[in-house]
Structure 1
């Protein structure tokens, strides 16, 4: 019983073009959560600088202290700029057989997870997200984190709809295979 294995080469014209994929931006309300998190982290950085200044101010010159303060302020400015620019690249798409998520502005990442590879789905809602009526959906695949997706900042109905769609698709797949109910 010999099996014939083929692995034909695809030419550039045969490869699907993901540039044509229409991605949906996450909710604009999610930007408030990103800014709040950035503010909290910035306060943590400034508190650390202030504590270091109070304990070690005699050990360093005012020039050195000023340089460190400048670096901290520039880092905070970069964090806010990065949050603002990066937000517009947070997009997702739900297709018949997969979930697509794009993020990042310095390093753009596009993750595509087929529904038949998903093993677990989790819908979460933090305290600030609850106020803004947002949820996050996380899908987990077998074996590696590279295929896992967490899409944050989805309207509640959208997150629940994606969750239901994935669960129905998985249930249908198991029913076709005869491996599940």
Structure 2
């Protein structure tokens, strides 16, 4: 079953471990703000005990997400073949997206403020069918630029052959 999502005839390239750091920071901000809001609302309306319990629930949720984010980051990988790009990710719900170069319409590179601060970017591939769109998060900016240029050139060259 593993061969279904990770063909062995290709060389897989993993994404940067910094992706986990960015996602953990996002989760920390989200759980922290929600926990403090719950603490204040429950503390002022019911009792500070309920507010503290809500804060503990949010802390447990953050701890659980910390583990899942690390596992998810390690699952992201991509491979360049002669005629297509393969992107695989997921632990519980695994996904393998195969994007033929000739089907690509355009390639985006994006990086939000936290991604830029950590020195990573996301490459997004767009095709005529949204089901075959793919993204590769957590790439070093130089690798994202190289991949964007290579995929654009391959997509243009193979689209002319259609």
Q: Shorter-chain TM-score: which interval?
A: 0.7 to 0.9
- Is 1:155 paired with 2:144? no
**SS of residue matched to 1:106:** coil
Structure 2 stretches lacking a partner, 5+ long = none
TM-score, structure 2 as length reference: 0.82
State the distance in 1 between where 2:85 and 2:40 align: 45
Q: Which has the higher helix share?
A: 2
Render the CA deviation track for 1:97-150: whole Å, top value 9, x for unaligned: 222222222212221111122122101122233333322100112232x21111
Question: 150, 154, 160: which is aligned to 1:169?
Answer: 154
State the distance in 1 between where 2:113 and 2:58 align: 29
TM-score, structure 1 as length reference: 0.75
Greater shift in the superposed pair: 164-173 or 125-134: 125-134
- Is 1:97 paired with 2:83? yes
Could you say which residue in structure 1 is the equivalent of 2:98? 112
- Is 1:25 paired with 2:14? yes
Structure 1 stretches lacking a partner, 5+ long = 1-14
State the distance in 1 between where 2:87 and 2:103 align: 15
Query: Offset of 1:164 from its aligned partner?
Result: 1.1
Aligned length: 159
